[in-house]
Amino acid sequence: MTTSRAGRHAGIVTLLLLVLAAALTPTSSSAAGGWWDPVARPAPDSRIGVTGEPFRGTDSAGRVRGFVDAHDHIMANEAFGGRLICGRPFSAKGVADALKDCPEHYPDGSLAVFDFLTNGGDGRHDPVGWPTFADWPAHDSLTHQQNYYAWIERAWRAGQRVLVNDLVTNGVICSVYFFKDRSCDEMTSIRLQARLTYEMQDYVDAMYGGPGKGWFRIVADSAQAREVIEQGKLAVVLGVETSEPFGCKQILDVAQCDRDDIDAGLDELYDLGVRSMFLCHKFDNALCGVRFDSGVLGTAVNVGQFLSTGTFWRTEPCTGPQHDNPVGLASAPAAERRLPAGVEVPSYDADARCNVRGLTELGEYAVRGMMKRHMMLEIDHMSVKTAGRVLDLFDSASYPGVLSSHSWMDLDWTERVYRLGGFTAQYMNGSEQFVAEAGRTEALRDRYGVGYGFGTDMNGVGGWPAPRGADAPNPVTYPFRSVDGGSVLDRQTTGRRTWDLNTDGAAHYGLVPDWIEDIRRVGGQHVVDDLFRGAESYLTTWGATEAHRPAANLARGAHATASSAEWNPVTSYAPARAVDGDRGTRWASDRSDGQWLRLDLGAVHRIGRVTLDWERAYATSYCVDVSADGTNWRTVRSTTDGDGGLDTAVFPPAEARHVRVVGLTRGTRYGYSLHEVGVHAR
């Protein structure tokens, strides 16, 4: 499937690259003749700084080995209008063309506006990239290319086996940024980035002698990923992280898309090879509310929210242990000057930490659409309200396809993600912070038998580990061996610049192996071992998502009776409305405690899961009972802290023909009301 797609996208580009490769002077590494060495690498080019054969195959239990970067942005230079991230991950013209600064950064960075907005100072820097790289890439430069193909190659050679390339952009940032050379339409940018990722695959293939021969392999399913990894190559997964997918922005709370737009958008992304995505990012949209940014950046993003939607973030007290990031009151003058005259960023109460916006009706339609297509959903950047509803939906269907790829969900969700069969990765923090957070969740990983991942977010305008210093305890010493023991890594050199993690920090993707070595020296081998199991755990989640099939709802059309039903001359709230398969209908009881709804499944079944989709009139205290004969009942779920929404009761399988929901205490002044009740084998 990858080869045929590569063929479609290669065309003349691949032919020209093959001709170019044949004319290039082989490097000294290619003379070694290993399968991992290119037939001809462009010259001059970056050095890799790795010797030894990359490992192939699986472990003794048939599991793949290797690291997973669950969140990277290889093609972000094509986003935000094309001039926010400077430099390219590859160029047919060679490294000097790929690794050069944006035109407006010359001669001294005076017009590097985003540089000084994000990094302080005046933005001035030496813009020259190849071959000197005096000032970039750097761990604290957010506007320069970090994903040059040869740097990614170094990470692959050192043991990375899965890389998620999130196609990313933001139409509002594009529209307000001073420099751009293309449209700000988000889907146009996503299409371009997808195409260029395939062209990068072709570019690498050309060095190795033709289509399918390179180490950079875009994969469309988990089985294909496993095949690629067993060959010792890098499986590249396409994801999407954008603020208004399918054009689903909202203006003054009015959605600018519909269900047809969502279906068409999901189909198009799937055809492009996208298998995971975010539904909201930075700004509230027509699908969901977001988890806030804090501090100066939070204020700037909130301004962008207003410019995009006509509304600022709105907060409310949180109702559970999870909470969104505090918005804060920090001033961001450069951003605030973009607001219309007389409009100011509102202040926020310190005890109101949660976004009032959750998953909308359209958002729920999009989530269910992703489930139908067996896609994985990223819950990072979702508000607590949004993420909670998504997890409720996944719980109700036992759907495993949930990801947290770079530390942007409330950490109290972690076990719930693992319980579903999902996957989590930590942001590329400094080694000490990374080790501390890995330790906090280690017991959970052990309990669920899962590995760990990292999300570099390179080219993602986030900042990366600063140098610990040459005098820090347990510095990285060069050369060092890869985790599998088969390769030796020395300091990485590109042009006339050599980087050292101890003194330069994680300046670009080629220093990911050095950062992992730093984690080993700071935290111990067991932390890195968890990371080395990450690729297997990610693929397990993906494979389970592909294999998921909705369980039969034994309650659909069941005979339903109730203690009461609210009378209405226009519509019916009869008990049968809770089992008719239509979320637009519902059963509603009289306005008193102690009401019940009873279902007769028609025959005895072995059941283990009951779902309750409450209308706004919910129960704070209720129980779920089951019976084989309608006389002898057993309680399988009881709670006194119900909060409405979508509840899922999972219990040891029981033989039952009858299911009864008993409302004990109402959560509102109305009765009890259920859109749908589901009964499943598990």
Tokens 């749908």 correspond to: 676
pLDDT confidence tier of residue 19, bands split at 50, 70 and 90? very low
Model pLDDT, residue 297: 85
Give alpha helix (H) positions in 183-244.
186-207, 222-230
pLDDT confidence tier of residue 328, bands split at 50, 70 and 90? confident
CATH superfamily for domain 67-84+148-246+254-278+359-547: Metal-dependent hydrolases (3.20.20.140)
List the one residue out of 501, 496, 503 whose CA is nearest residue 514.
501
Separation CA 243–CA 186 (nearest Å): 8
Separation CA 214–CA 372 (nearest Å): 33
Rg (CA), the chain: 27
- State how beta strands 274-278 and 376-378 pair: parallel
In the chain, the amino acid numbered 389 is R
Question: Residue 304 is inside which H or E element, if any?
Answer: helix 295-309
What pLDDT digit, counting tens, does each position of 373-390 carry?
999 999 999 999 999 999
Going along 18-100, which residue ranges are E strands?
50-51, 67-72
What pLDDT digit, counting tens, does each position of 73-94 carry?
999 999 999 999 999 999 999 9
User: What's the whole-number mean pLDDT along residues 51-70?
Assistant: 95
> Under a CB-based contact definition with an 8 Å cutoff, are residues 243 and 281 in contact?
yes
List the one residue out of 458, 429, 421 whose CA is nearest residue 527.
429
Average pLDDT, the chain: 93
Model pLDDT, residue 120: 65
CA end-to-end span of the chain, whole Å?
Answer: 34
Tally of CB atoms within 10 A around 594: 14
List the one residue out of 240, 223, 82, 214 whose CA is nearest residue 152.
214
> Looking at per-residue confidence, does 354 or 110 come out higher?
354
Tokens 């509230």 correspond to: 284
67-84+148-246+254-278+359-547 and 559-681: identical CATH topology:
no
Q: Where are the domains of the chain?
A: 67-84+148-246+254-278+359-547, 290-356, 559-681
Q: Helices 534-547 and 222-230, interaxial angle, to 10°?
A: 150
Token pair belonging to 134 = 């005096």
What pLDDT digit, counting tens, does each position of 513-568 carry?
999 999 999 999 999 999 999 999 999 999 999 999 999 999 999 999 999 999 99
Residue 15 reports pLDDT greater than 80: no
Separation CA 286–CA 363 (nearest Å): 7
> Under a CB-based contact definition with an 8 Å cutoff, are residues 26 and 39 in contact?
yes
- State how beta strands 423-427 and 402-404 pair: parallel
CATH superfamily for domain 559-681: Galactose-binding domain-like (2.60.120.260)
**pTM for the whole thing?**
0.92
Model pLDDT, residue 406: 97
What pLDDT digit, counting tens, does each position of 614-670 carry?
999 999 999 999 999 999 999 999 999 999 999 999 999 999 999 999 999 999 999
Residue 178 reports pLDDT greater than 90: no
Question: Residue 365 is inside which H or E element, if any?
Answer: helix 361-372
Residue 118 reports pLDDT greater than 70: no
